[in-house]
């Protein structure tokens, strides 16, 4: 694509050679054009390549009468108005070219736009595709925009501006997956950027389709943001974020306030902190100037989140947490200072204790922090415990619709622990120390089905086979595709962790799951496993993620909702946790 535009005019036919109601293909400067003569005596010129998949429009059919006409592409029945190029059935308009008849000769003018003109034309087209959830149009426009010099971050920023206000009560997995996918797209080159980027756009499209934009209040920087979120004052929370941003507040200021709010409760089964982490990671990539389009909707998410700590089963943990000196925890030295190691004696012992706990191990976790683990050492033990649970999850539960426990109850233990670590490192203090304890509780909760069955947790990877591969991307990808879970785990444990991480990320993006929400969980679980394995010498999180990807899992949740509805409406019983 050139930086300057170009306009070409060529004579392509004699007017009296064109029979009304016919089409023929001509070329202008090598550009294929469908020349259309309608029954009303007009002549039109359209791009011959159908905007859907590029088949020739002249191989389609023309219907014309006394007022214009319609061309139908036979391949998938898209229809276009020949005078305007407007798509009458299908997803995208086709480009029209000016036609002039001089002395009986038909001249067609083709304008080859510059890269900048092309981008200006494509932004609204991409937004329309996202709003209608036309994934083909989104993919095509993404490729065209990248070809015209747009960046993955620029495409994602435009999408955030267009779609974040349309989310269902605040940003969620759409935004979380966008952050992880954009990171992968930015780490790739050329056409390898397209799949992760479009997967990242797909969540916005699927989750916001046909939803109106939610209203946003006028900015008001005088409102205390954490207090507004705590009192579920949604209007006040949004006004505060908007007001502070308008007054020049930066990432550190807003992140601190939102972390204070996100750590006040155990929110939505770990999602409060996961979404906060992903929002700030996304802004790191698309730029802080997109914050006014994103952060008000994160505040809305936090206002509307379920406060899981108010539920009866969390009461023991909440009582234990109330007795913890959070300031003392925040001041405790980390494992770098104390020499604490997750694989060493006290670290492995703590992991085993977390796995074997029959009550929420909040006091034990707090003691470990001050005994040398620090917050990071505690989170290491939580990550290892959850990873072992991923490796020993009874997959039969996935098909037991009477049981509310499944893969996602465990994967969130990993993604929340990783998010709590991000929060602790970004903004250490008593509030993020509390998040680490909430993460410990969620790690404990990943064992609830196991405890109910009186099962024995897998306490060591020594019981698992290891297999090294020099082509782990192909072999692990195939094992996941074929649902050979044991082989996938062996490869993940025995091969180069960086290559394993790449193979898992590719598998997560390869549409091996049937619904957006499952793809979103595959992506974020793999990303958390890659980061946790990368920061210390362990393949355990990667192996857990490999087993999750390679195992059977619920994909659509229709049958589960039917089972829950029947149980509730016929017997009055809520779902079993």
Nearest to 198 by CA among 251, 271, 257, 145: 145
* Minimum separation from the CB atom of position 138 to ligand FES (A): 16
Helix (H, G, I), strand (E, B) or coil at 297: helix
Residues near ligand FES (CB under 6 A) are 50, 52-53, 55, 73, 75-76, 78
Q: Beginning with the edge strand found earlier in the chain, give each strand of the sheet holding 22-28 in spatial order.
A: 22-28, 31-37, 43-47, 96-97
- Cβ closest to ligand FES, residue 140 vs residue 412: 140
Name residues whose C-beta falls within 8 Å of residue 363's C-beta, 6 or more positions apart in sequence.
320, 323, 324
Alpha-carbon gap, residue 280 to 287, rounded angstroms: 10
CA distances from 72 to 51, 57, 85 (A): 12, 7, 12
Structure tokens at 142: 């993404």
- Cβ closest to ligand FES, residue 78 vs residue 438: 78
* Minimum separation from the CB atom of position 134 to ligand FES (A): 13
* Minimum separation from the CB atom of position 74 to ligand FES (A): 8
Helix (H, G, I), strand (E, B) or coil at 88: strand
* Minimum separation from the CB atom of position 75 to ligand FES (A): 4
Alpha-carbon gap, residue 380 to 361, rounded angstroms: 15
- Cβ closest to ligand FES, residue 87 vs residue 131: 87
* Minimum separation from the CB atom of position 78 to ligand FES (A): 4
* Whole-angstrom Cα Rg for the chain: 28
- Other CB atoms within 10 Å distance of the CB of residue 274: 25
Nearest to 519 by CA among 369, 408, 401: 408
* 557 DSSP 8-state letter: -
* Minimum separation from the CB atom of position 35 to ligand FES (A): 18
Q: At what angle do helices 251-263 and 291-304 cross, to 10 degrees?
A: 10
Distance in Å from the first CA to the final CA of the chain: 57
- Cβ closest to ligand FES, residue 86 vs residue 349: 86
Cα 446 to the chain's mean position, in Å? Answer: 23
* Minimum separation from the CB atom of position 53 to ligand FES (A): 4
* Minimum separation from the CB atom of position 77 to ligand FES (A): 6
Is residue 387 within 8 A of residue 539, CB to CB? The reply is: no
* Minimum separation from the CB atom of position 95 to ligand FES (A): 14
* Minimum separation from the CB atom of position 52 to ligand FES (A): 3
Is residue 535 within 8 A of residue 527, CB to CB? The reply is: no
- Cβ closest to ligand FES, residue 140 vs residue 560: 140
- Cβ closest to ligand FES, residue 52 vs residue 524: 52
- Cβ closest to ligand FES, residue 85 vs residue 170: 85
* 49 DSSP 8-state letter: B
- Cβ closest to ligand FES, residue 133 vs residue 220: 133
* 43 DSSP 8-state letter: E
* Backbone region of residue 572 per phi and psi (left: phi > 0; alpha: psi in -120 to 50; beta: other values): left
Alpha-carbon gap, residue 545 to 410, rounded angstroms: 10
- Cβ closest to ligand FES, residue 62 vs residue 228: 62
Alpha-carbon gap, residue 505 to 152, rounded angstroms: 18
Is residue 375 within 8 A of residue 423, CB to CB? The reply is: no
- Cβ closest to ligand FES, residue 76 vs residue 451: 76
- Cβ closest to ligand FES, residue 53 vs residue 310: 53
* Minimum separation from the CB atom of position 112 to ligand FES (A): 22
């Amino acid at each position: 694509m050139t930086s300057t535009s170009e306009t070409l005019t060529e004579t392509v036919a004699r007017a009296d050679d064109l029979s009304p109601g016919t089409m023929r293909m001509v070329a202008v400067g090598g550009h294929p054009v469908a020349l259309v003569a309608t029954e009303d005596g007009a002549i039109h010129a359209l791009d011959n390549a159908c905007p859907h998949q590029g088949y020739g429009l002249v191989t389609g059919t023309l219907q014309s009468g006394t007022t214009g006409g319609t061309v139908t592409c036979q391949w998938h029945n898209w229809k276009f108005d020949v005078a305007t190029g407007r798509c009458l059935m299908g997803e995208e308009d086709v480009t029209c070219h000016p036609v002039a008849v001089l002395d009986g000769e038909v001249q067609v003018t083709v304008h080859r736009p510059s890269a900048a003109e092309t981008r200006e034309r494509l932004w609204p087209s991409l937004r329309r595709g996202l709003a209608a959830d036309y994934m083909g149009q989104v993919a095509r426009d993404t490729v065209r925009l990248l070809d015209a010099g747009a960046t993955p971050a620029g495409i994602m920023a435009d999408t955030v501006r267009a779609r974040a206000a349309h989310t269902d009560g605040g940003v969620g997995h759409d935004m979380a997956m966008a952050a992880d996918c954009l990171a992968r797209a930015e780490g790739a080159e050329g056409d390898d950027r397209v799949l992760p980027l479009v997967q990242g756009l797909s969540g916005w499209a699927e989750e916001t389709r046909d939803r109106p934009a939610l209203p946003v209040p006028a900015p008001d920087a005088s409102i205390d943001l954490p207090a507004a979120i705590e009192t579920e004052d949604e209007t006040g929370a949004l006004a505060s974020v908007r007001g502070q941003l308008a007054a020049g507040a930066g990432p550190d200021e807003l992140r601190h306030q939102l972390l204070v709010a996100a750590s006040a409760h155990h929110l939505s089964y770990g999602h409060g902190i996961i979404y906060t982490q992903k929002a700030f990671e996304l802004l790191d990539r698309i730029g802080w100037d997109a914050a006014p389009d994103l952060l008000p909707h994160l505040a809305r998410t936090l206002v509307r989140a379920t406060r899981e700590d108010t539920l009866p089963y969390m009461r023991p943990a909440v009582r234990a947490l109330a007795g913890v000196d959070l300031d003392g925890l925040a001041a405790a030295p980390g494992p770098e200072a104390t020499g604490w190691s997750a694989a060493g004696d006290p670290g492995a012992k703590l992991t085993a204790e977390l796995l074997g706990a029959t009550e929420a191990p909040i006091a034990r976790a707090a003691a470990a922090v001050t005994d040398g683990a620090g917050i990071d050492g505690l989170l290491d033990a939580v990550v290892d415990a959850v990873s072992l649970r991923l490796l020993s999850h009874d997959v039969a539960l996935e098909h037991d619709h009477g049981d509310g426990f499944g893969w996602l109850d465990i994967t969130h233990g990993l993604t929340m622990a990783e998010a709590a670590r991000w929060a602790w490192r970004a903004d250490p203090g008593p509030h993020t120390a509390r998040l680490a304890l909430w993460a410990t509780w969620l790690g404990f909760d990943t064992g609830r089905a196991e405890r109910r069955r009186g099962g024995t947790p897998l306490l060591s990877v020594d019981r698992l086979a290891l297999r090294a591969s020099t082509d782990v991307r192909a072999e692990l990808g195939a094992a996941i595709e074929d649902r050979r879970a044991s082989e996938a785990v062996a490869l993940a444990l025995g091969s180069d962790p960086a290559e394993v991480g790449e193979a898992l990320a590719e598998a997560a993006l390869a549409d091996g799951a049937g619904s957006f929400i499952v793809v979103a969980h595959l992506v974020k679980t793999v990303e958390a496993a890659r980061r946790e394995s990368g920061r210390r010498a362990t393949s355990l999180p990667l192996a857990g993620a490999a087993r999750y990807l390679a195992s059977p899992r619920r994909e659509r949740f229709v049958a589960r909702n039917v089972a829950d509805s029947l149980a509730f409406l016929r017997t009055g019983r809520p779902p079993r946790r």
